[in-house]
Structure 1
Amino acid sequence: MARKQHLRQFLGSSVWSGLSTVARAGSSLLINKLFAVYYGPHGITLLAHFQNLIALLTTLPNSGVNVGLIRHLAQQEVDTPAYRSYFWAGLWLNLITFLGVAGAISLFPTFFLERFGEELLTQTGAGGLWLLPIMFVFLLLHLFWLSVLLARQALRAYVFIGLFTSLVSVGIMWGAVGKMDVFMALVLFLAGQSISGLVGLGVVLSKRLVPVWQMQLNPEVLQNLGKFLVMALSTLVGAKLVDFVVREMAIQQFSLLETGLWQSVVKISDSYTMVYVSLLGMVYYPRIAALLPQPEALREYVRSVFFLLVPAVGAGLLFFWRQRDFFIQLLFHRDFLAARDLMEYQLLGDFLKMTAWVLSYIITVQARVKLYILTQLVSGVVYVGLVAWLMPLLGLDGLPLAHALRYGLYLVFHLYLFRSYFFAS
C-alpha cells in the first residue's frame, strides 16, 4: 500500500513538473534549431560555450544555496522566524557567491572569454557590456523565486513562471536569430532567460512567501546553507568547469565545426536530461527532503521511484536511438547527420547517469558534504583523463565513450553505497 501511495504522489506531482519541463525543453530545442539552421555547427558550439559560462556563474547560487533553501524552507512555515532567517540568508548568499565566481572568471579572461569576448565588446560597445551584470542579477532572482516556490510546493505558480520564461525566450530568439550576428544573439538569449526575475517577484509576493525584512544573518543558518554551498562548489569544478575545459580541448583538437557536431549530440542529450532533472528537482527532491526524518519511509519511496524510472528511461533512450536520424534532422539540420554515430555511447552514458542520479540525490539531501565533494571531483578528474586519453586515439568518438565510461563508474559506486535501500526488510 505504501508503495502505491508513493507512486500516486509522485505521478500526480509529475503532471505539473511535466508541463513546466515540456515548455523549457521545447523552447531549448527550438532555440537550438534556430542556431543550427542560421549559424550551423559553429553557432551550436558558441551557444553551448555561452550557456556553459552562464552555468559557471549560477551554479553556486542555484545548485548550492537554492538547493539548501528548498530543503530547509520545505520544513518551515512562512510565518516562522526560521523561514525568515533562511529566506534572507539565501538571498544574500546568492548575490555574494555570484560576485565571487564572476571575480574569479575576470582573473582569467583569455581562457573563459576568448571565444566571444572581443566580438561581444565590438557588438555591444563598452557601455552595453554593463547590461550583462544586470541581466545576471535578474537571472539569479528568477532562480531564487523558483526555489522558494518549490519549497512550498506551489507547482502551479512554478509552471506559470516556466511557461512565461519559455515563451519570452523563444519570442526574442525568433526575432533575433538570423537577423544579427551570433554574438549579439547570445546576449539576447541571456535577456530572455533573465526577464522573469521581475515576474517571479510578483508571483511570490502574491503568494505571501516573502517574509519581513531581516538584515541580520543567523550563523547556524549560514552554516546549514554553507554545507550545500560547498557541495555545489565541487559541482562547479567537477562538472561545469570540467565541461568547459573538455569543450576547449575539443575545439583545440578539432575545430568549431567538428566540435559543433559533437555538441549537437550533447544538446539533444541535455534536452531530455532537462526533463528528467526537472522531474527529480520538482517532485523527487522535495519529497525525500520531507521524508528525511523517517528513514524507512525514505527507503521505500526511493525504491518505488527507482524501479519506476529506470525501465522507463531505458525504453525511452532505446526508442530515441532507433530514431536518431529523424531526431537529428528534426532538432537540428540534415547537415548534422554526420553526428549520428556519436549517439550510441552518448545515450548509454545518459542511461547510466540518469539511473545514478536517483541515488545521488540522497547524498545531497542528507548534506553528506565530504562524500558529495569526493564523488563530484573524482568523477570530473576521471572524465578529463578519459577524454585526454581517448580523443587522440578515436577522434570525436572518444568524447561520448569517455562520457559513458565516466557514468558507468559513477553508477557502480552509488549502487554499492545505497545497497541497503534495495535489501531493506
Structure 2
Amino acid sequence: MKIPQFIRTNLLLKMTSLNAMVIVVRLFIGFFLQRELTDLVGKDGYAKVGSLRNLMNILMSITSLGVFNGVLKYVAQHKENRPELQKLFSTTFVFTIIGSVVSFLVLFFGAEYFSSYFFYTQDFAYIIKIVAVVVPFISIQRVFNGIVNGLSAYKHYAKIELLAYILGAALTLFLLYQYNIDGALLAIATIPIIQVLVLLFVFVKVLREYIVFSEISFKIPYGKQLLSFTLMSFTATVLVNFVELDLRNMLVDKMGEDDAGIWTAMTTLSQNYMVFSGAIFTLYVIPKFAGITQKNEFVKEVGTIYKTLLPLFALGMLAIYFLRYQFIEYVFIDFNEMAPLFKWQLIGDFIRLMALVLAHQFLAKKMVRNFIFTEILSLALFFGLSHLLVDTYGVEGVVLAHLLRYVIYFFVVLFLVWRYFDKKGKSSAAK
C-alpha cells in the first residue's frame, strides 16, 4: 500500500503515521496485559507494579547519569564528525560506569530498605537485588536509545520499540501466570535485558558505523557539556518518579493500597497513550527546534506540530473518555472507582502535550535554568495540590491536581519561551 503524498512529503507526518502503527499494536497488547495484571494481582498488587516501574524510570536516569538528551543532541549535531563522536562516547562510557556501579551498590546492599519503601514489605528484597544486577543493561539501553534518536532513525526506533515490547509483554504474562505478583515484578525487573538484546539485534550494524568500541577511552572530554543534561534529567526523571512514589505512599497511608492501585491504573493508561508523543519529541521536535533561531520560524514550526498532533490526540482522548466504562469492564477489571478520574486526567494530558511541545525548546537550546525551574514548579504544584485536595476529593483530588498543575505550567513555559526569543531579537537588533 502506497503512503499518501501529503504524508510522504512531511517528515512529522511520516514519523507520526509509523509511530501510530507501533502504538496501536502496543495498546492492544498493553490492554490485554493490564487486564491480566489487574485481574490476577488486584488493586494492592497493581500499586506495587507502579512503584517498581517508578524505580526503573529513576534508574534509567541515574545509571547513565542522565546523558540521554545530551547523547541525542550531540549525536544529531556531530553525526558526520567521527572524532567528536568518539569523545562523546568516551565520556558517556565513564558516566555509565560510575552511575551503574553506584546504583548497584546502593540497591544490592540496601535491598531490605528499598523493598519496604517501594512495596511496603521486606518480602520483595530479592526483586531489588535482581534490579541491582540488571543495572548495567538499564544504562546501556538508555545510551543506545539516545544514539538511535540522535540519528533520527525512526524506522529502526519503531522496530526496536515494537519487538522489545512484544517480547517484554510475553515474558510478563508467562511469569505472571506462573508466580502471580512475584512473577510480574520479576518480569519488569528483567525487561531491560530484552530491550538491549533487541536493540543490538536491530541496530548493531548502524552502531558500528558510529562507535569504534576499541577507541573508547576512560576520559571525559564532554563532561562539562553532559553534566548540564545530568542535572536536567535528575529534575525531569528522578524527582518526577519520587513525587509519584510519595503520592502513592500518601494514598496508601490515608486511604489504603486499593486506592493507590486505582490511581496507578489511571496513570498507567495515561502513560500508554502519552508514549505516542515521546518518540515524536526525541526524533523530531528536539532536532528541529535545535536549528531554529528566529521567533517567526519557531511559531510556524509549533503551529505545524500542533496542527498535526493535537487533532489526533483530541480524537483519541475523546474515544477513551466515551469508552471509559468498557476500559474498566474489559481492561481494568473491578477498578470501578476509576470512572470519575478519566475527564480530569484526559484534559490534563491534552494541556500537558501542548506545554511539552513548547518546553522541548529548553532541551533543544540547553536552557538549563528555565528547564529546571519549570520542572520543579510543576512538581511542587502537583505535590502541594494533591496533598491539599486529597482530603476533600479522595483519589480524584490527585487527578485534579494533575490538571491544575499543567494549566499553570503551560502559561509559565509559554512566557519563558516568548521571553527567550524577545531577548534574542533585541540582542540581534543591538548588533
- TM-score interval, normalised by the smaller of the two chains: 0.7 to 0.9
Alpha-carbon distance between aligned partners in 2 of 1:199 and 1:264, rounded to the nearest angstrom: 28
Equivalent residue, structure 2, for 1:113: 115
Equivalent residue, structure 1, for 2:336: 337
Relative to the length of structure 1, the TM-score reads: 0.87
Equivalent residue, structure 2, for 1:411: 410
Contact 2:85 2:211 in 1 (8 A): no
- 1:70 counterpart (67, 72, 76): 72
Q: Does residue 358 in structure 1 map to residue 357 in structure 2?
A: yes
Alpha-carbon distance between aligned partners in 2 of 1:359 and 1:160, rounded to the nearest angstrom: 28
Alpha-carbon distance between aligned partners in 2 of 1:54 and 1:91, rounded to the nearest angstrom: 20
How far apart are residue 160 of structure 1 and its match? 2.2
Structure 1 residues 131 and 48, CA, compared in 2 at 3 Å: closer, same or farther? closer
Structure 1 residues 144 and 235, CA, compared in 2 at 3 Å: closer, same or farther? same
Contact 2:22 2:158 in 1 (8 A): yes
Any residues of structure 2 matched to 1:210-221 within 5 Å, and which? 210-212=211-213, 213-219=215-221, 221=222
Equivalent residue, structure 2, for 1:261: 262
- 2:90 counterpart (53, 78, 88): 88
Equivalent residue, structure 2, for 1:145: 144
Count residues with an aligned counterpart.
414
Alpha-carbon distance between aligned partners in 2 of 1:421 and 1:327, rounded to the nearest angstrom: 43
Equivalent residue, structure 2, for 1:222: 223
Structure 1 residues 414 and 111, CA, compared in 2 at 3 Å: closer, same or farther? farther
Equivalent residue, structure 2, for 1:39: 41
Contact 2:62 2:234 in 1 (8 A): yes
Percent identical pairs in the alignment equals 21
Q: Does residue 232 in structure 1 map to residue 233 in structure 2?
A: yes
How far apart are residue 129 of structure 1 and its match? 6.3
Secondary structure in 2 aligned to 1:73? helix
Q: Does residue 242 in structure 1 map to residue 243 in structure 2?
A: yes
Spell out, residue by residue over 1:38-75, the C-alpha distance to the aligned partner (whole angstroms, 9 max, x if none).
11212211111110111111134569301111111111
Secondary structure in 1 aligned to 2:210? coil
How far apart are residue 237 of structure 1 and its match? 4.7
Spell out, residue by residue over 1:361-413, the C-alpha distance to the aligned partner (whole angstroms, 9 max, x if none).
11111111111111111221121111111111221221111111111110111
Secondary structure in 2 aligned to 1:217? coil
Spell out, residue by residue over 1:302-344, the C-alpha distance to the aligned partner (whole angstroms, 9 max, x if none).
23112332343233323321221122223221x1122101212
Equivalent residue, structure 1, for 2:429: none
Alpha-carbon distance between aligned partners in 2 of 1:374 and 1:110, rounded to the nearest angstrom: 34
Equivalent residue, structure 2, for 1:388: 387
My pick for the range that moved more, 406-415 or 17-26, is 17-26
Alpha-carbon distance between aligned partners in 1 of 2:23 and 2:80, rounded to the nearest angstrom: 27
Alpha-carbon distance between aligned partners in 1 of 2:391 and 2:259, rounded to the nearest angstrom: 14
Structure 1 residues 63 and 312, CA, compared in 2 at 3 Å: closer, same or farther? farther
How large is the Cα RMSD of the aligned pairs? 3.0
Alpha-carbon distance between aligned partners in 2 of 1:308 and 1:348, rounded to the nearest angstrom: 18
Equivalent residue, structure 2, for 1:15: 17
Contact 2:240 2:379 in 1 (8 A): yes
Any residues of structure 2 matched to 1:263-282 within 5 Å, and which? 263-282=264-283
- Amino acid corresponding to residue 329 of structure 2 in structure 1: Q
How far apart are residue 107 of structure 1 and its match? 8.9
How far apart are residue 218 of structure 1 and its match? 4.1
Spell out, residue by residue over 1:343-369, the C-alpha distance to the aligned partner (whole angstroms, 9 max, x if none).
121112111111100101111111111
- Amino acid corresponding to residue 73 of structure 1 in structure 2: V
My pick for the range that moved more, 354-363 or 164-173, is 164-173
How far apart are residue 283 of structure 1 and its match? 2.6
Contact 2:251 2:260 in 1 (8 A): yes
> Which structure exhibits the higher relative contact order, with contacts defined as CA atoms closer than 8 Å and separated by 6 or more residues?
1
How far apart are residue 178 of structure 1 and its match? 3.2
How far apart are residue 233 of structure 1 and its match? 1.5
- Amino acid corresponding to residue 341 of structure 1 in structure 2: P
Alpha-carbon distance between aligned partners in 2 of 1:217 and 1:223, rounded to the nearest angstrom: 12
Alpha-carbon distance between aligned partners in 1 of 2:130 and 2:302, rounded to the nearest angstrom: 44
Structure 1 residues 158 and 357, CA, compared in 2 at 3 Å: closer, same or farther? same
Contact 1:138 1:198 in 2 (8 A): no
Secondary structure in 2 aligned to 1:159? helix
- Amino acid corresponding to residue 359 of structure 1 in structure 2: L
Equivalent residue, structure 2, for 1:323: 323
Contact 1:17 1:283 in 2 (8 A): no
Contact 1:238 1:379 in 2 (8 A): no
Alpha-carbon distance between aligned partners in 2 of 1:277 and 1:381, rounded to the nearest angstrom: 23
Structure 1 residues 77 and 264, CA, compared in 2 at 3 Å: closer, same or farther? closer
Structure 1 residues 377 and 129, CA, compared in 2 at 3 Å: closer, same or farther? closer
Equivalent residue, structure 1, for 2:285: 284
Alpha-carbon distance between aligned partners in 1 of 2:96 and 2:26, rounded to the nearest angstrom: 23
How far apart are residue 7 of structure 1 and its match? 7.8
Any residues of structure 2 matched to 1:371-386 within 5 Å, and which? 371-386=370-385
Spell out, residue by residue over 1:219-260, the C-alpha distance to the aligned partner (whole angstroms, 9 max, x if none).
3x1111111111111123541211111111111111111221
Structure 1 residues 357 and 107, CA, compared in 2 at 3 Å: closer, same or farther? farther
How far apart are residue 90 of structure 1 and its match? 1.9
Contact 1:250 1:259 in 2 (8 A): yes
Secondary structure in 1 aligned to 2:52? helix
Contact 1:67 1:147 in 2 (8 A): yes
In structure 2, stretches of 5+ residues that fail to align are 1-5, 426-431
Any residues of structure 2 matched to 1:140-219 within 5 Å, and which? 140-207=139-206, 208-212=209-213, 213-219=215-221
Any residues of structure 2 matched to 1:288-303 within 5 Å, and which? 288-289=289-290, 291-292=291-292, 297-303=297-303
Relative to the length of structure 2, the TM-score reads: 0.86
